[in-house]
Amino acid sequence: MGKRPGAVSKKVRKRAGSLNIMKPIVFDIETSNFFDDVGKADPSLLTISIVCIYDFATSKYDSFLESELPRLWPIIEKADMLIGYNSDHFDIPLLNKYYPGDLTQIKSLDLMQEIRKSIGRRVGLGKVGEGTLGTPKSADGAVASKWWKEGQVEKVRQYCLDDVKLTKEIYEYALANKKLKYKEDGKIFEIPIDVSDWQIKQEKAITSTLGF
């Protein structure tokens, strides 16, 4: 017997359901020091000043100073995916230094690495933001570190939130258009992006701090 018009297989319904319940978190980290301060290009040797996130489950931005990180862990543990920019190399190893479990057990989407896979080179967040959205970075990490040392915490917080917003919008653009763009030397270049597995959930096995 043939399928009735409009019938959807259980496999397709199950896959669609998985896509609908994806709850990623976009995040970015600022530090109170740089590699020159610690003498080695190892992110885990740095000290976090603030972590900022956008939680798709709640549609809200939030920020966490180093002393407030225990409040962040339950939120991250509920996430289906961690989205960042250069996050596999920098943000996750650094945050893992503070986390009591292993954040590498959560699915990760590093947008810089997705670009590198496509065109064979890394491109900075500012160039991609400007090319794709017409929105460059609001500052850079060196300036943010200087602000922190000067006690300008709110400036650092806003800068970090700006980067999270930019990363979120780049992710959403790529997901919708299967491409990104970057601006370099006054020219716009297109980057094809494979998003085929971005919204597929994967099992995770992490040490939970949720208490259940």
What are the structure tokens assigned to 143, written together? 């300036």
Q: Is the pLDDT of residue 10 over 50?
A: no
Please measure the distance between the N-terminal and C-terminal CA atoms of the chain and give it in whole angstroms.
Answer: 47
Taking residues 106-110, report their average pLDDT: 97
Q: Taking the CB of residue 25, how many other CB atoms lie within 10 A of it?
A: 24
Residue 115 belongs to a domain: yes
Instruction: Give the per-residue pLDDT at 38.
Output: 78
- Give buried/exposed letters for 67-86 (b at 16+ CB in 10 A, else e): eebeebbebbbebbbbbbbb
The answer to whether residue 207 is domain-embedded is no
Task: Give the Cα separation of 118 and 194 in Å (integer).
Answer: 8
Residue 14 domain-assigned? no
Return the CATH number at 36: 3.30.420.10
Task: Identify whether 75 is part of a domain.
Answer: yes
Q: Which domain holds residue 99?
A: 22-192
State the pLDDT at residue 207. 54
Do the domain assignments include residue 210?
no
Residue 53 within any structural domain of the chain: yes
Total number of domains in the chain: 1
Q: How confident is the model at residue 35 (pLDDT cuts 50, 70, 90)?
A: confident
* pLDDT at residue 208, as a whole number: 61
200 part of a folded domain: no
Q: Residue 11: inside a domain, yes or no?
A: no
Read off the pTM: 0.85
Res 193 pLDDT > 50:
yes
